[in-house]
Amino acid sequence: MHEDSLIPRQEFKKEPHQSVAWLLVVLTGSVFLTEVLVMLLLTALPSLPRLTSVLLDATLLSALLFPVFYFLVFRPLLRNITDLKQAKDQLRVAAVAFEIKDPILITDDQANIVRANKMFSHITGYRLEELVGQNPRILNSGRQSKAFYEKMWQQLLRTGFWSGEIRNKNKEGHVNPCRVTITAVKNEKQETTHYVAIYNRM
């Protein structure tokens, strides 16, 4: 995976999050308004013993506020816990898949290396710390033209996918022909965040 042409830098926007201040205002306002309604209801009833009035106030307040707390607090919290568990499971699976026998290289959207698996380090002779931050062009053997890489990137930027033969060189300068499959990783806004390259030695 090489880059001889610049990849347009993309702006990444932070996802909007529910404001904690807004949530506090809504909950506080709900409690206040509900308590006012309950007190108005109690004043409309015949005089009740103090203990009965307190218990009725608490019961009505709890019953009326339960849906508010359920939909604004409990359900989102439960959803977040479920999403977190699913994310951990996916990370666990991804960690296992990442160390498969095929060499794997991951770059950011600017084609700067952010991660490589052990097999990639093994076939290239580079340690991970030597690879991180580098551009994959350090593997360029000079056996393929600039036009080849320009065409590769045009297809990758257009379709998010490219597959073909690349003749890379390792750290010692030996040329290793590989079948490479490159896939663009996109976020929920369909913006490219990473590129994943899987190498199959020939």
Residues 6+ apart with CB under 8 A from 40: none
The domains of the chain, with CATH numbers, are 20-96 (no CATH), 101-201 (3.30.450.20)
pLDDT tens by residue, the chain, 202 residues: 444 433 334 443 444 445 778 878 888 888 889 888 888 888 888 888 888 888 888 898 889 889 888 888 888 888 888 888 887 877 776 676 677 789 999 999 999 999 999 999 999 999 999 999 999 999 999 999 999 999 999 999 999 999 999 999 999 999 989 999 999 999 888 999 999 999 988 7
The Cα 178–Cα 2 span in angstroms is 13
Q: Which two tokens stand for residue 93?
A: 């699976």
Q: So what's the pLDDT on residue 23? A: 79
The Cα 173–Cα 169 span in angstroms is 5
State if pTM tops 0.95. Answer: no
Q: Which two tokens stand for residue 187?
A: 């976020």
Contact call for residues 152 and 138 (beta carbons, < 8 A): no
The Cα 156–Cα 110 span in angstroms is 13
Contact call for residues 21 and 79 (beta carbons, < 8 A): no
Q: So what's the pLDDT on residue 136? A: 94
